Structure 1
Amino acid sequence: MTDFISSARAAERALRDLFEPTPLQRNDHLSEKFSADIWLKREDLTPVRSYKIRGAHTAMRTVLERDPSQEVFVCASAGNHAQGVAFACRHFGVRGVIFMPVTTPQQKIDKTRVFGGDAVEIRLIGDYFDDTLASAKDYCQQAGGHFLSPFDDADVIRGQASVAVELLAQMEQAPDMLILPVGGGGLSSGITRYFSSEAPGTELYYVEPKGGRSLAAAVTAGHPVKLDHVDSFVDGAAVARIGDQTFEQLRGVAPDHILASPEDRICTAMLEMLNLEGIVLEPAGAMSIDCLEDLRHEIRGKTVVCVTSGGNFDFQRLPEVKERSQRFLELKKYFILRMPQRPGALRDFLELLGPEDDIARFEYLKKSARNFGSVLIGIETRNAANFQNLFARLDAAGLTYRDITGDETVAEFIL
Structure 2
Amino acid sequence: MTDFRAAAQQACDEMRALFEETPLQRNDHLSLKYDADIWLKREDLSPVRSYKIRGAFNALRKARAAQPDQTTFVCASAGNHAQGMAYVCRHFDVRGVIFMPVTTPAQKIEKTRIFGGSNIEIVLKGDYFDDTLAEAQAYCTAKGAHFLSPFDDDDVIEGQASVAVEIARNMQVLPDMVVLPVGGGGLSAGIKSYFGGQGPELIFAEPAGGASLKAALRAGTQVTLQKVDNFVDGAAVARIGDRNFAVLQDVSADQVYPVDEDRLCTTMIEMLNIEGIVLEPAGALSIDVLADIADQIKGKTVVCVSSGGNFDFERLPEVKERAQRFLGLKKYFILRLPQRPGALKDFLGLLGPKDDIARFEYLKKSARNFGTVLIGIETDDPANFGNLDARITQAGFDLRDITKDAAIADFLI
- The answer to whether the superposition gives a TM-score over 0.5 is yes
Looking at structure 2, the residues matched to 342 and 184 of structure 1 have their Cα atoms a distance apart, in angstroms, of 58
**1:90-101 equivalence runs, <5 A:** 90-101=90-101
**3-state SS of the aligned residue for 1:211?**
helix
Displacement of 1:287? 0.5
- 2:37 corresponds to which residue? 37
**3-state SS of the aligned residue for 1:356?**
coil
Looking at structure 1, the residues matched to 117 and 45 of structure 2 have their Cα atoms a distance apart, in angstroms, of 21
Q: 1:289 aligns with which of 280, 287, 290?
A: 287
**3-state SS of the aligned residue for 1:165?**
helix
- 2:371 corresponds to which residue? 373
- 2:102 corresponds to which residue? 102
Contact preservation (8 Å) 1:288, 1:307: yes
- 1:414 corresponds to which residue? 412
Query: What letter is aligned with 1:95?
Result: R
- 2:49 corresponds to which residue? 49
Contact preservation (8 Å) 1:209, 1:287: yes
- Normalising by structure 2, we get a TM-score of 0.99
Looking at structure 1, the residues matched to 367 and 248 of structure 2 have their Cα atoms a distance apart, in angstroms, of 58
Displacement of 1:203? 1.0
Query: Which stretch shifts more, 358-367 or 5-14?
Result: 358-367
| Cα pair distance change 1:229/1:387, threshold 3 Å | same
- 1:87 corresponds to which residue? 87
Contact preservation (8 Å) 1:336, 1:404: yes
Query: What letter is aligned with 2:380?
Result: R
Looking at structure 2, the residues matched to 395 and 166 of structure 1 have their Cα atoms a distance apart, in angstroms, of 60
Q: 1:271 aligns with which of 256, 269, 273?
A: 269
Query: What letter is aligned with 2:192?
Result: T
Displacement of 1:388? 0.3
| Cα pair distance change 1:174/1:368, threshold 3 Å | farther
**3-state SS of the aligned residue for 2:361?**
strand
**Number of residue pairs aligned between Structure 1 and Structure 2:** 413
Query: What letter is aligned with 1:153?
Result: D
Displacement of 1:378? 0.2
Displacement of 1:225? 1.3
- 1:342 corresponds to which residue? 340
Offset from partner CA, 1:348-402 (integer Å, 9 cap, x none):
1111000000000011246497211111100000011100000010011011111
Displacement of 1:70? 0.7
| Cα pair distance change 1:36/1:146, threshold 3 Å | same
Looking at structure 1, the residues matched to 244 and 42 of structure 2 have their Cα atoms a distance apart, in angstroms, of 22
Task: Name segments (4+ residues, structure 1) moved above 2 Å.
Answer: 365-369
Contact preservation (8 Å) 1:161, 1:194: yes
- 1:123 corresponds to which residue? 123
**1:7-406 equivalence runs, <5 A:** 7-196=7-196, 200-365=198-363, 367=365, 370-406=368-404
Contact preservation (8 Å) 1:368, 1:374: no
Displacement of 1:20? 1.0
Looking at structure 1, the residues matched to 176 and 10 of structure 2 have their Cα atoms a distance apart, in angstroms, of 26
Offset from partner CA, 1:59-107 (integer Å, 9 cap, x none):
0000111111110000000000000000010000100000000000000
Displacement of 1:319? 0.4
Displacement of 1:202? 1.4
Looking at structure 2, the residues matched to 212 and 411 of structure 1 have their Cα atoms a distance apart, in angstroms, of 21
Q: Share of identical aligned residues, percent?
A: 68
**3-state SS of the aligned residue for 2:210?**
coil
Q: Which runs of 5+ in 2 are unaligned?
A: none
Looking at structure 2, the residues matched to 195 and 205 of structure 1 have their Cα atoms a distance apart, in angstroms, of 13
Q: Which runs of 5+ in 1 are unaligned?
A: none
Query: What letter is aligned with 1:59?
Result: A
